[in-house]
Amino acid sequence: MEFLLQPLTLLTFFPLVGVLVILFMNSESKNAIRWVAMSTTLITFGLSLWVLTLFTASNPDLQLEAKYSWIQVAGWDIQYYLAVDGLSILLVLLTGLLTPISILSTWTAIEDRVKDFMIFFLLLEVGMMGVFLAQDLFLFYIFWEFTLVPMYFLIGLWGGPRRIYAAVKFFLYTMAGSILMLLAIIWLGNYGKTFSLPELIAQGGIPANIQMWLFIAFAAAFAIKVPMFPLHSWLPDAHVEAPTAGSVILAGVLLKMGTYGFLRFNIPLFPEATVQAAPWIALLATIGIIYGAAVSYAQADVKKLVAYSSVSHLGFVMLGLFALNAQGVAGAILQMVNHGLSTGALFLLIGMVYEQTHTRELKVYGGLWKIMPVFGSIMLISALSSMGLPGLNGFVGEFTILLGAFGSKAIGSPWYAGVSALGVIMAAVYILYMFQKMFLGPAGEITKEHELKDLNWREILTVAPLLILMFWIGLYPAPFFNLIAPAVEKLLIGY
């Protein structure tokens, strides 16, 4: 019982309660199922806020530990070990927030097999929470792989026309990277006789040449998930085919698992390899920023445009992480949240108009702001947040990242940040292009074919929390930085 009542255990596994309830429900009573799923995720979000109240911001260490011996075999000690610190608390909250929002967005969008959908969604939440909370490599790996399964079905069952292709591709890409990580995890467990991350970090002393191999093995898994250029080819497929809620979670949380992995494992476990790799990662990140932005601009499908913009945005996050200074890393963590908010909002909004028009071709849109003023304004704010307008959240993240990367000793040259700053211009180019083609200009074809309605209250409610956070982080990010900063300082002690 004591095991179950740990705050983090509760937080991670609470969605299973909802799964259990839904399993016993009639699959025809769709609304009831939706409500159960909604309230489960809302309670989970409440639990994550509760965890926040229990969390001590000034403490840089892992907190609220739930630690039990789990499997002992061959001298290895595998633990059930959940804990949270400044590096992960925001991502836990983000997961808690985005899941109910996504479920709310499916209210009318998902009509068939609601029961299965909600079950998968709740399972997905368990996996995501677990990934951000697990401090045992073995446990982490289990959660990491576990997220794949529900997402695979979410894309594969409720996706667009090429959903099977996309789902399989998503699954295989992630799997391919994970295998290498698994090997590295086994090596580490064998080496340190434990899978506990804090213990492994404390032991240290992994020879430099082996560090590099392990770094690469972990990086393979994470870089695919991020996705870093040039491993991004699964992303547009997955995003375009996934249902709206899937895209939101995919962009908002699943991609963050990659960057979080770098932060949680690569940087503290392999310090020497990290320093060696930093310029190369920065190079790839810079290419990703520019490349993603350029490719976004040429897209005809608005969802694909946003998908490619993720490549660019997460390039910023990677650049910040490997700047290895306080500004860069803290900015990167905040930017993970920012990207979840703004890209999440963009996907939600695109989903809302898609529900009415069933097309995402930019060229058939136009002049929507006149017909749907509320929708247009909300979209504008989200778009501006995505392109990093000061006063909104995106800027705080991008600015601190670029500032950090510009003077980073690890990266070693201001050129990376300098070139990446060009991405700021290019972000304006593709975001404004998207906004113009959809909302400005003369009324497009689509307005003649459909009687478009402005957002209803449910839809406004869906994006409202994201908008509030955009302004909050943009104008007064201090509470967020206060959560992050101590852990970041601790992380960077060795660098």
Partner 1 sequence: MHLSETIISLAPWLVFAPLTGLLINLIFGRRLSEKAVGTVASLASGAAFVVSVLLAYAVSINHGEVMRWRLAEWIHIGTLNLDWTFRIDSLSTTMMLVVSGVGTLIHIYAIGYMHEDVRFKHDEGRYTRFFIFLNLFIAAMMILVSGDSYMMLFVGWEGVGLSSFLLIGFWFEMDTLGRPSWANSDAAKKAFIANRIGDFGFLIAAFLMFWGFGSLQFDQVFAGASSLSAINSPLTVAITLFLLLGVAGKSAQIPLYVWLPDAMAGPTPVSALIHAATMVTAGVYLVARSAPIYATAPAAQYLVAMTGAITALFAATIAVGQYDIKKVLAYSTVSQLGFMVAAVGMGAYTAGMFHLITHAFFKALLFLSAGSVILGLERGHHHAPSSPTLPPKGEGSHRPLSPRERARVREHHEIFDPGDMRNMGGLRKTMPVTFWLYIVGTLALTGIFPFAGFWSKDEILLDASLHFTGIYWLLTIAAFFTAFYMGRQIWMVFFGESRSEAAAHAEESPKVMTLPLVVLAILSAVGGGLNLPFEGFHNLGHWLSYTLGEVESLPLDLTVAGVSTLLALTAIFVSWLLYGRTPLQAGQIDPLKRLGLVFTGMENKWFVDEGYFAVIINPFKKISQFLADVIDWRFWHDFVHDTLIVGTYNWLSTIALDHYADQKGIDAFANWLGTATQWISENVRKIQNGFVRSYALAVMLGVVLILGYLIFK
Site residues, partner 1 (CB under 8 A): 169, 230, 233-234, 236-237, 291, 294-295, 297-299, 308, 325-327, 330-331, 367, 369-370, 373, 384, 389-391, 395-396, 399-400, 402-404, 406-407, 414, 417-418, 421-422, 424-425, 428-429, 432-433, 436, 439-443, 475-478, 481, 484-485, 488
* CB 405 to partner 1: min, Å: 9
User: Which residue's CB is nearer to partner 1, number 10 or number 421?
Assistant: 421
Cα–Cα distance measured from residue 231 to residue 170, given in angstroms and rounded to the nearest whole number:
11
- Least Å distance, CB 57 to partner 1, is 13
Instruction: Take residue 194 and report the two structure tokens written for it.
Output: 């434990």
Cross-strand pairs, 84: 63
If we measure between CA atoms, which residue out of 423, 199, 143, 405 comes closest to residue 308? 423
Could you tell me the smallest distance in angstroms from the CB atom of residue 471 to partner 1? Answer: 12
Phi-psi region of 367 (alpha: psi -120 to 50; beta: other; left: phi over 0): left
> In 112-233, which residue ranges form alpha helices assigned H by DSSP?
114-133, 137-158, 163-192, 197-203, 208-225
CB of 463 to partner 1, least distance (A): 17
CA distances from 64 to 10, 53, 70 (A): 12, 11, 18
Report, in Å, the least distance between residue 421 CB and partner 1: 5
Which of 296, 432, 304, 301 is CA-nearest to residue 357?
301
* CB contact at 8 A, 337 and 473: yes
50 versus 165: smaller Cβ distance to partner 1: 165
Give the shortest CB-46-to-partner 1 separation in angstroms. Answer: 28
Query: Among residues 233 and 456, whose Cβ is nearest to partner 1?
Result: 233
Non-local (6+) Cβ contacts of 380 within 8 A are 435, 439
The number of beta carbons lying within 10 Å of the beta carbon of residue 3 is: 9
- Residue 64 in 3-state DSSP? strand
Q: Cβ of residue 396: shortest distance to partner 1, in angstroms? A: 6
How distant is the alpha carbon of residue 319 from its chain centre? 16
Cβ-Cβ contacts under 8 Å for 208 (sequence gap 6 or more): 272, 273
If the CB atoms of residues 275 and 294 are measured against partner 1, the closer one turns out to be 294
The smaller minimum CB distance to partner 1, of residues 70 and 399, is found at: 399
The nearer residue to partner 1, 182 or 429, going by C-beta atoms, is 429
Nearest CB to partner 1, comparing residues 279 and 367: 367
Using the CB atoms, write b or e for 199-233: b if 16+ within 10 Å. bbeeeeebeeeebbbbbbbbbbbbbbbbbbbebbe
| Cβ at position 233, least distance to partner 1 in Å | 5
CB closer to partner 1, 125 vs 241? 241
Nearest to 303, CA basis, from 258, 349, 369 = 349
**CB closer to partner 1 out of 207 and 418:** 418
**Nearest distance from C-beta of residue 251 to partner 1, angstroms:** 18
